[in-house]
Amino acid sequence: MADPSAPPEAARLLAQDPLAAELPRRHMVMNLGPSHPAMHGVVRSRVELDGETIVRIDPEIGFLHRGFEKSCENVTWTQCLPFTDRLNYVSSILNNVGFSLAVEKLCGIDIPERAKYIRVIGGEVHRICDHLTMVGAMALELGAFTAFLYAIEARELLWDRIAEQTGARVTTSYTRIGGIERDLPDGFLVKLGETLTRVSELVEEIDKLLTRNRIFIDRTQNTGVISAEDAIDYGFTGPCLRACGVAYDVRKTHPYLVYDRFDFEVPVGGRGDNFDRYAMRMEEMRQSEKILRQAIAQIPAGPVILDDWRYVLPPKPAVYGTIEGLIAHFKIVMEGIQVPPGDAYAYTEAANGELGWYVVSNGSGRPYKLHVRAPGLPILSSLPHIIEGSLLADLIPTFDSINMIGGEVEQ
Amino acid sequence: MGRFVRMSLLGVLIAAGLCLWAWLGYVAIDWAGSATFELGWGATLGQAAAAIVFLQLLFVMILATLLMVAERKWSAAIQDRIGPNRARLPGLSRFSLGGIPHVLADALKMISKEDFVPAKANRLLFQLAPVANLLPILCLFAIVPMGPPVPVRHAFGVLFASLQIANPDAGLLYLFAIASLAVYGVALAGWASGNKLALLGGVRAASQMVAYEVALGLGLVGMMMTTGTLRLDAMIQSQSAGLFGTSWFPAWGLFVQPVGFLLFFAAAFAETKRTPFDLPEGESEIIGYFLEYSGMKFGMFMMAEFVEIITLSGVVTAVFLGGWHLSPVLDDALASAAASLVAWRFAGPPDPGAAALTLAVFQAALFAVKVIVLCWLQLAIRWTFPRFRYDQVQALGWRFLLPLGLVNVFATGLCLLLDSSLGLLGALGLAEIALVVGATLWSSSRPAALPVAAAGGH
C-alpha cells in the first residue's frame, strides 16, 4: 500500500541524484562583543546568522558586574551615593536623586523647597545629557558621524554646567540624605539658561540632519518594532514604552519632588520602532528644556539641606565650636545615618525609564538590603524578541535606541 | 578679514600651481614624445610615459594624499572641530600648515606598523588583495583627459601633446571594464582574511558593486548617444557648443543629461564604498572587509578609496561638466586672454603655438579646479549622511536606478530623433533639474512627520 505522504517518483529520483541534492547549510555563529563598536559598555552578543538575517541572538551581560547591591550593604547610607553614580553613568544625578528619595521616604523627612528645585534642575540637565548620548550614538553607528559630534558638543556644554554645580563632570554624588551637597554657584542659573539656548540650537541642528533624512528614516522606521502589549509584558518603562504609545511617565502619573508644578507634556509614539524611540528622545529634550526654564524662574531662596543633625552633617563651626555638633558629626561619620527599621520603595523617572529603589533598613546605620530596578535590564532582555528575524544591520539602531547602559543593567 | 585674505591668497597660489604643473606637463610630454619619436619608438610611448609621471604620480597621488588631510580638515570644519594640526615639520614647528605634515606622519606610521597576517588567512590572496584593489583604480585615470591636445611644431612635423595617458577609441568601455575589476580586490580581501566579519564585508562589497555596475553604465549611455562617441576628449569637444543656439548657455552633459549625471554620480559613489554606501565597511556593524589588514596594506585600501574619488571626479568633469570648457563666450574670453598674455610676454609677431599652449595650460588648470570642486562635494556628502542598509542599497540600485536609467535612455533617444540639435534634450534636462530642485524644496518645507502626540497628564 502506497504511502500518500511519500514524494512522487520524479522527486524521489531527483532526491537521490547527488548533484541535485541540497547543499549542506549551516548558520554562521558570530560573536559581537564584548569588544565591538556597537556594543555599548561591554556586552557580548552571540549571533546566529543565516546570510545576514539574525536567526538567534543571545545577549550576554555581566562583564561590568561590580556587585553594586552587596557593596552597598557594607557602607553607610551616605557612602552608597558614589556607587549610585556608577549605575547609569551618563545621568548620575538622576540615580542620586532616586536613591535619596527612597531613603528619605524611609526616614519620613521632607527636604527644603530649594533643594527640590535644584534636584530637578540637575536631574533634567542630566536627562538631556543622556538623551543626547543616545541620539548621538545612534547617529554615529548609522554612519552619521557629524550628528554625533553635535550631540557631544551639546553634552560637553551641559557637563561644564554640571561640573560647576556639583564639582564633577560624570560621577556627581550630588545629593545627600535630606537635601543636596552644595548650593548653586553664583550666576549659575543665568549661565544655565544661556547654555540651554545653545544646546537647543544644536538639538535642532541634529533634528535637521536626522529626523527627515530619508536614509535615517529608512534605517529606523519599522525596524526593531515591539508592540505595546509585549513592551508592557517585558517591563518596558520610559521613552521605549512611550514610543509604543503608552503614556506612562512617573513625573506625570506619580509626581515627586516638584514636578507637579511644571507645565510639560509627555511625548507618545505610535509604532514602537527605532524611529519612534529616537523621536521620543528628541521631543523629551525639548520638554526637559521647558521644565528647566520654569524651574529657573520658580526656584525659591532658602537652605538646600535640612537642619536636622540626625541626618545631616552639622556645619563646620558647629562641629568645632559646640559639643553637640561634634558628637553629631562623630556619630554620622562613624555610625552612619540611623535610618529607622523598615522598608520603602521609591521610584523616579530616570532617563531610560522607571528607576526603582527598594531599601530595607534594620536600623543599624547601613542598608540591610538594597535593590535597584534598573530600567535597562527588562528592555535589554527583550532584544532577542525584537530583533530575531531581521537583518544584522538592524541590530545596530535597535541596540542604540533601547539605550542599554552597562553600568545600570549589570550593576 | 585676515582669514579671507589668506584664503584668497591660497586660492590664487593653488591656481598658479596648477598652471605651472600643466605647463611643465605639456612641455615634458612634448619633449618625451619627440625624443622617443626620434629614437624610432613612436611618439606615443614617450608621451604616455611622461603623462603617467605628470598625471598619475604628480596629480592623482598628490591630490589623493592631500585629500586624506582635506577630508579630516573638512570634516572637522563641518563638525565644529579644529582637525589635525599637531604634526609639524622640523624647523617650522610654529606652523601647522593646515595639517599637511600629517600626510608624512600617517605615511610613516603605516610603513612602520607590523605587517600582520592572520593565522587563518590565505597568505597569497591576503597579500594580493590590496594590490588587486588599488591597481585597477589607478589604471582608471589613464583615459581622463586633463587638458586639450596642443599642436607643437618639430623639425620632423607636428606632434599633438595632450594631458592624457591613453586615448583609446573604446574610451568609456575601458572605464567599465577596468572598474568592474576592482571588486576582486575587495572580495578577495574579505574572503582571504579568514574572518567572519571581513567575509560579510567582502560579500556586501561584491553584491553592491555588481548592483551598481549596471546603473553606472546606463548613466553614461545617454551621454554616449548625445555626443555620438565613446572617447572622452571628443565628448568634451562636443560640450563646447552653446545650448538653444545661445553662446552663453553651455551644452554641458549636466544640462542635457541630468538624470544620467545623477545615475552615474550615485553609482560611482557607491563604487567608492564611502558613506552613505559604506556597507562593506560599516564600521559599527561588521568593521569592514579590511578588518585584518594593518600598516601599508590597509593604507593601500585607503589610498584606493581616495584615488577612486579623484577618478570619479575626473570622469564626471569630462563627461558631464564640459571638461575644460566653460560656455562659448567665456571660452573665447579665456582664449583672447591667453593670446594677449602671450603678446605681452613675448613682444614681436604673434605666435599661434605659444598662444595655444597658454590657453591649454589655463584650460587644464580649469579642469583640475572642477575635479577639486567635485572632490569637495564628495567629502561633504560623506560627512553628512548616515549609511544605507544592505537590502535598501540593493533596492535602490535594482528597483530605482536601473529602471530610471532605462527610461532615460529611451527618452534621450526619442528627443534626439525629434530634434538632433540638442535643443529638445536641453529643454527636457532643464525641466528635470527644475523638477528635482522643486521636489527637494517642497519636501524640505513640509514639517517632519513625527509620531509625537502630546499626552498631557493623567
The DSSP line for B338-361 is HHHHHHHHS-SS--HHHHHHHHHH
**Backbone phi and psi for residue B302, each to the nearest 5 degrees, phi listed first:** -65, -45
8 Å CB contact between A94 and A351? yes
A152, B25, B160, B250, B375 from B364: Cα distances, Å? 43, 10, 15, 18, 17
Residue A326, pLDDT above cutoff 90: yes
pLDDT digits (tens, 9 = 90+) for A149-208: 999 999 999 999 999 988 888 888 888 888 888 888 988 999 999 999 999 999 988 988
The reply to whether residue A392 touches residue B75, judged by beta carbons under 8 angstroms, is: no
Got the DSSP string for A60-91?
Answer: E--TT---HHHHHHTS-TGGGHHHHHTTSTTS
**Residue A45 in 3-state DSSP?**
strand
**Stretch B7-18: mean pLDDT:** 90
- Mutation for testing the B interface, residue in A53, A150, A217, A218 having most B CBs under 10 Å: A218
Say if residues B156 and B37 touch (Cβ distance below 8 Å): yes
Nearest Cα to Cα of residue A373 among A352, A354, A350: A354
On whether the CB atoms of residues A46 and A389 are closer than 8 A, the answer is no
Global pTM? 0.86
Q: Where are the domains of chain A?
A: 77-410
pLDDT band at B456 (very low <50, low <70, confident <90, very high): very low
Residue B454 scores a pLDDT above 60: no
Please report which helix (H) or strand (E) contains residue A350, including its range.
Answer: strand A342-350
ipTM for the predicted complex comes to 0.82
Instruction: Please tell me whether residue B137 adopts helix, strand or coil conformation.
Output: helix
Among the partner-chain residues A38, A145, A268, the one whose CB lies closest to the CB of B455 is: A268
Q: Would you tell me which residues 258-297 of chain B have a C-beta closer than 8 angstroms to some C-beta of chain A?
A: 275-276, 278-279, 282-287
**Residues B245-259 pLDDT 10s:** 788 888 888 888 899
User: In CATH, which of 3.40.640.10, 1.10.645.10, 3.30.930.10, 3.20.20.70 is domain A77-410?
Assistant: 1.10.645.10
A368-374 contact pairs (CB < 8 A, 24+): A368/A73, A369/A69, A369/A73, A370/A69, A370/A72, A370/A73, A370/A80, A371/A69, A372/A68, A372/A69, A372/A87, A372/A408, A372/A411, A373/A347, A374/A87, A374/A88, A374/A408, A374/A409, A374/A411
What confidence tens digit (pLDDT) does each residue in B98-140 have? 888 888 888 899 899 988 888 888 889 999 999 998 999 888 8
Chain B CB contacts of A142 under 8 Å are 284, 386-387
Asked if the C-beta of B445 comes within 8 angstroms of chain A's C-beta atoms, the answer is no
Helices (H), A78-213: 81-85, 92-107, 113-141, 145-166, 188-210
Rounded to whole angstroms, what are the CA distances from B409 to A138, A231, A237, B94?
A: 40, 51, 54, 57
Residues of chain B found within 8 Å of residue A271, distances taken between Cβ atoms: 451
B417 lies within 8 A of chain A by CB: no
Per-residue pLDDT at B392 exceeds 60: yes
Residues B262, B272: Cα–Cα separation, whole Å: 15
Q: What is the residue type of A47?
A: V
d(CA B146, CA B371): 10
With cut-offs at 50, 70 and 90, classify the pLDDT of residue B406: very high
| CB < 8 Å to B200, chain A | 52, 392
**Euclidean distance between CA atoms A323 and A7, whole angstroms:** 97
Mean pLDDT of B204-231: 87
CB-based contact A279 B451, cutoff 8 Å: yes
**In chain A, whose CA is at the least distance from the CA of B277?**
A143
Nearest to B455 among A216, A219, A266 (CB): A266
Say whether A218 and B389 touch across the interface (CB within 8 A). Answer: yes
Mapped onto helix, strand or coil, the DSSP state of residue B95 is coil
Mean predicted confidence (pLDDT) in B341-352: 72
The reply to whether B78 touches chain A by the CB within 8 Å rule is: yes
Residue whose grid cell is 559613489:
B269
Question: A142–B386: do the CB atoms touch at under 8 Å?
Answer: yes
* Torsion angle, alpha carbons of B17, B19, B21, B22, to 10: 160
The reply to whether omega before B84 is within 30° of 0 (cis) is no
**Residue A363: band (very low, low, confident or very high) from pLDDT cuts 50, 70, 90:** confident
Is the CB of residue B200 less than 8 Å away from at least one CB of chain A?
yes
How many CB atoms sit inside 10 A of residue B140's CB? 24
Query: What percentage of residues in chain B have a pLDDT greater than 90?
Result: 13
Suggest the residue from B273, B287, B389 to mutate for an interface test with chain A (most A CBs closer than 10 A): B389
Q: Which residues of A265-292 are buried (b: 16+ CB within 10 A; e: fewer)?
A: bbbbbebbbbbbbbbbbbbbbbbbbbbb
Using only C-alpha atoms, what is the Rg of chain B?
Answer: 24
- Identify the closest residue of chain A to B388 by CA–CA distance: A215
Of B23, B263, B311, B326, whose CA–CA distance to B144 is shortest?
B311
Contact A211 B450 (CB under 8 A): yes
**Smallest CA–CA distance from A400 into chain B, residue:** B284
In chain A, pLDDT over 70 holds for what percent of residues?
96
Stretch B8-18: mean pLDDT:
90
- The Cα of A377 is separated from the nearest Cα of chain B by a number of Å equal to 23
C-alpha pair distances (Å), B264 with each of A229, B2, B176, B316, B401: 47, 40, 12, 8, 9
Interface with chain A: mutation pick from B203, B275, B450, highest number of A CBs within 10 Å = B450
Contacts of B80 in chain A (CB under 8 A): 149-150, 153
Residues B267-312: tens digit of each pLDDT: 888 888 887 888 888 777 778 888 889 888 888 988 888 999 999 9
State the sign of the Cα–Cα–Cα–Cα dihedral B21, B25, B31, B32: positive
Q: Do A218 and B196 touch (CB under 8 A)?
A: no
Of the pLDDT bands very low, low, confident and very high (cuts 50, 70, 90), residue B457 is very low
- Asked if the Cβ–Cβ distance from B81 to A149 is below 8 Å, we say yes
pLDDT, position A28: 87
Dihedral sign, CA of B296, B297, B300, B305? negative
